[in-house]
Amino acid sequence: MPILSVQDLQVVFDIKQRGAWPWTPPLKLHAVGGVSFDVEQGQTLGLVGESGSGKSTVARAIVGTVPVTGGRIDFDGNDLAHMSVSERRRHRKDVQMVFQDPLAALNPRMTVGEIVAEPLVTHYPETKKAEVKKRVGEIMERVGLLPNLVNRYPHEFSGGQCQRIGIARALILRPKLLICDEPVSALDVSVQAQVVNLLKELQRDMGLSMIFIAHDLSVVKHISDQVVVMYLGNVMEAGAVDEITKTPRHPYTQALISSVPIPDPVLEKQRPRPILEGELPSPLAPPSGCVFRTRCPKAQPDCSVEKDRRQFVDGVRVDCPYYEAMDALAV
């Protein structure tokens, strides 16, 4: 049984028009339009897509920082989408988040020790100071930071160290699910590898389930078991990471993989590069039918018609009836 099951998740924001009459109805921004996936116990699900594809909105809907318009979020047997604020608070310690900008996610007026201890003090106020200090020291050491750094402030650390502090803060509560919202995109390549390896190690030792959000499929490949490819709030392709990265079927997935350089100059020079043309459509007015049709090289006239396009091939969900499986090296 999956620890998290997201079913037909929809998030729509009301946008008030500047200068409009008070009675003018707000515009509807379709941030997420019917996303479904499961996260198995102890495994990692990768969410991949361009900026504006709705990945972070899905994450924030799961943790409860944005309202859910429709669908279900079943976590550990409970529907988080339809809970009250007080009911949601009881489950918040079990779902923690690591943010994209490591320095901006830390309070500059608090010491590192106070930052890491804050969730523990908030959710378990009865915990004695000696126990809090012990737990902070243990988790800091576990993420590769010296415990004697607790009295320093965030600006005294590098970006990679700040991200480790963010990970320590998220894990001090020993959550069941960790959501990493592009945790390595602001870091150097060498530091990215260190953070990814740290997350894999922590997952193995603590039995964590994770959602890992990224733009780069090459990063997701090294940490994920399952992958969901998103575009404009919709799922384009979903399945096992090996199937998605080695034999991409959806035109959008193929374009994402083609943007990842191959560390072989001969192969890199020879392979064709399908480049996405045009701009990402506005979520205020998404295309009818398949939302990717305005940029898709395989688009057909019936792609503008609203219908279920899900195809299941070798355990992979492909939301395109005109898909064509290709070798990733040939993309």
pLDDT, residue 328, reads 62
Distance between CA 148 and CA 125 in Å, rounded? 24
Does residue 140 contact residue 147 with C-beta atoms inside 8 Å?
yes
- Type of residue found at 192: Q
pLDDT, residue 11, reads 95
pLDDT, residue 140, reads 94
Does residue 51 contact residue 215 with C-beta atoms inside 8 Å?
yes
pLDDT, residue 293, reads 92
Task: Write the CA distances from 153 to 122, 159, 330, integer angstroms.
Answer: 20, 13, 48
| Sequence-separated (6 or more) residues with CB below 8 Å from residue 174 | 206
What stretches in the chain show pLDDT beneath 50? Answer: 331
pLDDT, residue 277, reads 79
Taking alpha carbons only, the member of 312, 278, 282, 280 closest to residue 297 is: 278
Written as six digits, the tokens of 5 are 């099951």
pLDDT, residue 44, reads 96
Predicted structure pTM score: 0.91
pLDDT, residue 166, reads 95
pLDDT, residue 329, reads 54
- Type of residue found at 198: L
* Overall fold of domain 4-17+25-94+175-330: Rossmann fold (3.40.50)
pLDDT, residue 17, reads 84
